[in-house]
Amino acid sequence: MDTIALKAKAVQIRMDLLNMIHRAKTGHTGGSLSNTDILTALYYKVMKIDPTNPKLPNRDRFIASKGHSVESLWCILADLGFFPKEELQTFSQFGTRLIGHPNNKVPGIEMNTGALGHGLAIAVGMALASKRGGAGYRVFCLMGDGEQAEGSVWEAAMAGAHYKLDNLVGIVDRNRLQISGSTEDVMGLDPLDKKWESFGWNVVSVDGNDIAALVQVFEEAPTVKGKPTLIMANTVKGKGVSFAENVPHWHHHVPNDGELELALKELSARLKSFQEGEVR
């Protein structure tokens, strides 16, 4: 899939997740919109996965430590065929598998997550198992920036560097907003890149809403030997919906009928530009 097709796919995923959240009347809209490009790059271009064989032994692993922003992940897994796309209509309904956090009863989900600060430790264990067992798979772990205030993140960061896990890629969705406001007001993180470097990680900063740039850094990460890589993905919360971008209220705001109509109109125009060969 080329860059234009990836960008178009990301737009479609945003439309799908907005419809799903609106239908369910619940969800984490802002963070799911901000991480869509990251997940699109990983699932459609970078990771070694097989929807027809979700337990492929040497598959790459993805851990959504930022589990509350699961909506984009559900839409991508459904689009790829891990489960029927019609099942998205059951999101957050009674008895569904598609709950508000990753659920490993669903094909394609490695681990139940959502208790912030725990995902990276799981990813470290998986990457260490891959190294010691000679499996050769890579492990990707997506974290929120508000999550960086959890001490367990830094314990796992130390372990990842100690074991020289160059098959481990951590990603911070650095949109600078969390449920209660700016990350720098709630618990200052900057200079976050320097902190990760001091823990022994190879750190790369990238526009987290630029799919071509994301693919490049994901593909370059394995060339750095002897240490894990942390990708500081600078994103916009609510990306793709103009009136939701950088608005804290959209952390878990559910679009009403009018907002959904306006958002889908914007995204449809963007999708049409890609389908007609316009590059913007």
- Residue boundaries of the structural domains of the chain: 3-275
- The answer to whether 173 and 66 have CB atoms below 8 angstroms apart is yes
- Rounded to a whole number of angstroms, the distance between the first and last alpha carbons of the chain is 18
Q: pLDDT: is 202 or 280 the higher one?
A: 202
For residue range 72-126, list pLDDT tens digits in order.
999 999 999 999 999 999 999 999 999 999 999 999 999 999 899 999 999 999 9
Looking at residue 242, what is its pLDDT?
A: 97
Task: Decide if 204 contacts 174 (C-beta within 8 A).
Answer: no
Query: What's the confidence (pLDDT) of residue 279?
Result: 56
pLDDT digits (tens, 9 = 90+) for 138-192: 999 999 999 999 999 999 999 999 999 999 999 999 999 998 889 998 999 999 9
Q: Is the pLDDT of residue 261 over 60?
A: yes
- pLDDT score of 125: 98
Q: For residue range 220-257, what is the model confidence (pLDDT) as tens digits?
A: 998 999 999 999 999 999 999 999 999 999 999 999 99
Which CATH code fits 3-275? Answer: 3.40.50.970
pLDDT tens digit sequence for 33-51: 999 999 999 999 999 999 9
3-state secondary structure at position 133: helix
Mean pLDDT of 55-63: 97
What is residue 180's predicted lDDT score, i.e. its pLDDT?
84
Instruction: Return the pLDDT at 179.
Output: 85
Residue 227 DSSP label: S
Q: Which amino acid is at 11?
A: V
Which residues does 202 contact at the CB level (< 8 Å), separation at least 6?
A: 221, 224, 227, 228, 229, 230
Question: Could you tell me which residues come within 8 angstroms of residue 212 by beta carbon, excluding any fewer than 6 positions away?
Answer: 3, 6
* H or E stretch at 63: strand 61-64
Beta bridge partners of 182: 177
Environment class of 47 (CB within 10 Å of its CB; exposed 0-12, middle 13-18, buried 19+)? middle
> DSSP for 141-183?
EEEESGGGG-HHHHHHHHHHHHTT-TTEEEEEEE-SEETTEEH
pLDDT given for residue 278 in this prediction: 58
| Separation between Cα atoms, residue 151 and residue 55, nearest integer Å | 31
d(CA 21, CA 128): 36
